[in-house]
Amino acid sequence: MKVDEILTAARDAMTVKRVYAEPIERDGTTIIGVASVSGGGGGGSGIDEEGQEGSGAGFGMGAKPVGAYVIRDGQVRWQPAVDVNRLATVAGVVALAAVIVAGRIASARAR
């Protein structure tokens, strides 16, 4: 695949349809899922000592859910997605910091 083809595929992949899901309607409520999408790519070409030309390119994309718009009775409400892993990591870091600070305070008082 040539660099131009990779970049075209990457541009086509990064559309609003990757961020907002198709609306789902049930019992008078419409839900539109939302994701955070990011990507990156690169490519290059060159000629070796023997005069042979080569090129290559790559692209990567990632997405994670961030929430959903909930539409009911003419009212729109944002419902954020809960990232349990991030929540547990933050709680662990806060707890560790509290233990370290408490240890230093106890150490300072003992002097």
Give per-residue pLDDT as tens, 41-84: 777 888 888 888 887 777 788 888 899 999 999 999 999 988 88
Tell me the two tokens of residue 22: 């198709």
Domain match, 22 and 38 both: yes
Confidence tier at 2 by pLDDT (50, 70, 90): low
Asked if residues 102 and 110 have their Cβ atoms less than 8 Å apart, the reply is no
List, in order, residues 6 or more apart from 15 with CB less than 8 Å away. none
Residues 54 and 64 in one domain: yes
Q: Does 14 lie in the same domain as 34?
A: yes
In terms of residue numbers, what domain contains 100? 82-111
Q: How far apart are the first and last CA of the chain?
A: 69
H, E, C per residue of 77-97: EEEECCCHHHHHHHHHHHHHH
> pTM (2 decimals)?
0.55
For residue 68, count other CB atoms closer than 10 A to its CB.
20
What rounded mean pLDDT belongs to the chain?
86
* Residues of the chain above pLDDT 70, percent: 94
